[in-house]
Structure 1
């Protein structure tokens, strides 16, 4: 049975912190809905109504484009091990990028990651839990090192060029607000 909470409780906090993966959902007013899996050590609970997550360079940048159009986001956590449970965090996101005031403080919450391109801060207005009875059991084997190896091979200049080519617009052609060297791409 689903339960609603106005904030992250201690039990929910422990559950979130134990997960190895979470999902981010966003959508603009028109176009496609995006759902992205996230892993590595890229999520921090800042307080009972605020979380931050580090976005690394990838094949797209949908979330950034979507929140510039309609600032809304859902994060979902599923128990793949142990007792079944699903937690969703709903709220209003803001986006911080390299070079912006406050970037160093926010990115400093996470271990250094090559290709860090945004930190999203979600102001939570609803926490929803549900059973998760249909979620299969999986065993965590470890984090993949492929993204870091790929970013290291590209180097700083290669990452910036990749972001300019692949991350400046969403699939639907919306600008992502990507900032490089203090200028929007």
Structure 2
């Protein structure tokens, strides 16, 4: 059933490329802190090497992932096959937030489509890869990516998105600061 790997093999890279959705999980160190699990789409995930990945993070109602990474670095990605054959893939690693003023921003940002409302890039070094059966994951038919977040950001404009980030994205639910708090 479950198999462990030291890196993202070519076969697993192909599986990731075929998925339209992935999930990002992080948690603070506090045992009473909130675990965060976020769904992501919009062609924003990239495999940089067999042990390094990145995703383009868009402005959202919170910024838990970034706050948790700043505190402890732990991150898990999960991909599920919603069509045959069944499979669940988890990538475990240590991540960091890359902001637009960082020296490596331009080289990373060039790997992604330009999407209005881009907030930051999350980069993770992967130390463990696990597959499991996925037999309990239901079958779903992919219809397309939602454009709601893109339209929202476009309508707000750059300054409106930055104002929103200042209001909603500087601290986590548990009061942890995010890297954006140093930038904005």
Whether these two folds match at TM > 0.5 is yes
Q: Distance in 1 between matches of 2:159 and 2:73?
A: 30
1:83 counterpart residue number: 85
Which region of structure 1 is more displaced relative to structure 2, 94-103 or 134-143? Answer: 94-103
**Following TM superposition, by how much is the alpha carbon of 1:100 offset from its aligned partner in structure 2, in angstroms?**
1.3
Query: 1: distance between equivalents of 2:42 and 2:62?
Result: 18
Q: Distance in 2 between matches of 1:184 and 1:172?
A: 20
Matched residue count = 182
* The one of 110, 113, 132 aligned to 2:112: 110
Structure 2, unmatched stretches of 5+, are: none
SS in 1 for 2:127: strand
Q: 1:52 aligns to what?
A: 54
1:8 matched residue in structure 2: 8
TM-score (ref. length: structure 2): 0.97
- Equivalent in 163, 171, 174 of residue 172 of structure 1: 174
Q: Quick one: distance in 2 between partners of 1:172 and 1:151?
A: 26
Aligned Cα root-mean-square deviation (Å): 0.9
TM-aligned CA deviation for residue 177 of structure 1: 1.4
Report SS of the residue matched to 2:108: helix
- For residues 65-115 of structure 1, give each alpha carbon's deviation from its aligned partner in whole angstroms, at most 9, with x where no partner exists: 001111110000000012100000000112100111111111110000111
Within 5 Å, give how 1:3-42 maps onto structure 2: 3-30=3-30, 31-42=33-44
Q: Secondary structure at the match of 1:122?
A: strand
Supply the distance in 1 between the matched residues of 2:159 and 2:123 (Cα, whole angstroms): 27
Q: Which runs of 5+ in 1 are unaligned?
A: none
Q: How far, CA to CA, are the matches of 1:122 and 1:94 in structure 2?
A: 6
Q: Give the TM-score normalised by the residue count of structure 1.
A: 0.96
Shift of 1:184: 3.1
Q: CA deviation at 1:55?
A: 0.4
